[in-house]
Copies of this chain bind each other. A is one copy, B any other.
């Protein structure tokens, strides 16, 4: 088995102010959830996430109680969220289709990860639009009933070619970073055409 790769920082990533962090998933992209505890780490895909608050930036995500990610989150109290770009569609689907319990998915898929600055969560930059590090906010009842976990974003960064000064900017030139939205069974739509609604 090949070893996981350590990534160097992308020259295009910049920190995102925490008051803008919820905007990174405001439009419902399919994301990757990363986790780490001790010698273990994992990454999975999650179509089901959403912000729940802008300030402080808080989010909800569905992580099935059978998953290894769920165990690692409970052990470390943290998780990462990565917003993959369209160019990462095959990887997104692949890490969502197998468990990392028996095999390190970073090594299996040759994923070059960095370590998040505040919580040490694995984060991806190459081919991705953004990442967030979250501190788990335990809510036993909804975790048990609906596998819904809450978290507070404590650090975030994005590729300035598509998110800068707190705003998304989808153009034809950054199509590889356009976000993925999973329809089911490996079918995705890519969010591309950016429009402005009428302001009355």
Q: Are A190 and B195 closer than 8 Å at their CB atoms?
A: yes
**Which residues on A are within 8 Å of B, measured CB to CB?**
23, 26-30, 47-53, 58, 60, 62, 86, 89-90, 92-94, 97, 139, 141-142, 145-148, 150, 167-168, 170, 178-179, 181-184, 186-200
23 A-B residue pairs with Cβ-Cβ distance under 8 Å, sorted by A, are A23-B184, A27-B30, A27-B188, A27-B189, A47-B51, A48-B51, A50-B60, A50-B62, A52-B62, A58-B146, A90-B197, A139-B141, A139-B142, A141-B142, A142-B150, A167-B184, A168-B183, A181-B181, A181-B191, A188-B195, A190-B192, A192-B192, A192-B193
Given the known inter-chain contacts A26-B184, A27-B183, A146-B150, please indicate yes or no for A192 contacting B195, CB distance below 8 A: no
Q: How many whole Å from A189's CB to the nearest CB in chain B?
A: 4
Q: How many whole Å from A100's CB to the nearest CB in chain B?
A: 16
Q: Are A189 and B186 closer than 8 Å at their CB atoms?
A: no
